[in-house]
Amino acid sequence: MSEGMVTRTYKDRLFVFIFGSRKDWTLSLYNAVNGTEYTDPEAIEYNTLKDVIYMSMKNDVSFLMLGVMNMWEQQSTFNPNLPLRFFIYLARLYEEYITNVYGWESIYRTRLLSLPTPKMVVFYNGEMDQPKERFLRLSDAFSGTIAPDIDISVRMININYDSNREIMKLCKPLSDYSWLVREIRRLVSEGHVLDEAVAAAINDMPEGEIRDFLIANESEVKTMMLTEYDEKAVLDVIGKDKYEDGLEDGQKKQKDEDDADIISSIHGVMNEFHISAERAMDIMRMSEGRKNRYRGKV
């Protein structure tokens, strides 16, 4: 195994691979985002959730640092529902935190529990035009006319290489990552096969630790990029506004219809990519339990 090789299941995004595995790179990005100058990577304690909900409803990077619960997501498609997703992630992270630190029964005691402060950031590198920075709020989704008792504010930062050079100057790992994504995207648009585009882009990267790290893990990087591109195509097959629970036009279907929809989606992915049902369900990021439910039906 090459030096720096990371042993894991490669269903993560490239962003997670870089910023969710090396504390020094995570700290560099944290400082760039927050205008800080912390120097001790060991202050970071990863607590990323794995396989929370179906498909892209999966926590990317989260970590505790100096009393702050940092939650990061990378998105190549703009999604106004991210505050809702962060709300779900936060509840689960707090549940884990309380259980590990205090014991779950502590929530019933009269003493106030001290919790880390949540800070939520989305790193956007999609092709739709977006400002350098904006805020998304959960309250935008509320249909009532009275002021809500709760809200979630998510900071969205545009990390496209040519769109936000200021933050790139503050974090070289981010600059190298953003350059790589832009280059892969350019080569694919010119007709290059994705494998070749990834290899060529890594080879042409600016010299530095990120390039050395990705060269040492090139096969894994290719797998992650294939998964990301497959997932985007899968969303087109399923329908951008249609999810595993069978939600369509705001109406929840009955259980049998849900199963029929999911089976149809699996078949659609199989036909789209000429792959097995197992591979299709893997691309759709179905849990093992969900796979077992549909293995005999596709």
How many Cβ atoms from other residues are within 10 Å of residue 193's Cβ?
Answer: 10
Positive or negative, the CA dihedral 269, 273, 275, 280 is negative
pLDDT digits (tens, 9 = 90+) for 68-118: 999 999 988 888 999 999 999 999 999 999 999 999 999 999 999 999 999
Helices 209-216 and 194-203 meet at what angle, rounded to 10?
140
Average pLDDT over the chain reads: 83
Of residues 3 and 206, which shows the higher confidence score? Answer: 206
- What local confidence, expressed as pLDDT, does residue 2 receive? 38
* Burial of residue 290 (number of CB atoms within 10 Å: 0-12, 13-18, 19+): middle
Model confidence at 12, pLDDT cuts 50, 70, 90, reads low
pLDDT at 233: 57
Dump the DSSP string for 263-294. Answer: HHHHHHHHHHHT--HHHHHHHTT--HHHHHHH
Element of type H or E holding 3: none
End-to-end CA distance of the chain: 37
Q: Of all residues in the chain, what percent carry a pLDDT higher than 70?
A: 82
pLDDT tens digits, one per residue of 131-156: 999 999 999 999 988 999 999 999 99
**pLDDT per residue as tens digits for the range 214-271:** 999 988 888 888 777 666 555 555 544 444 444 444 444 455 666 787 888 888 777 7
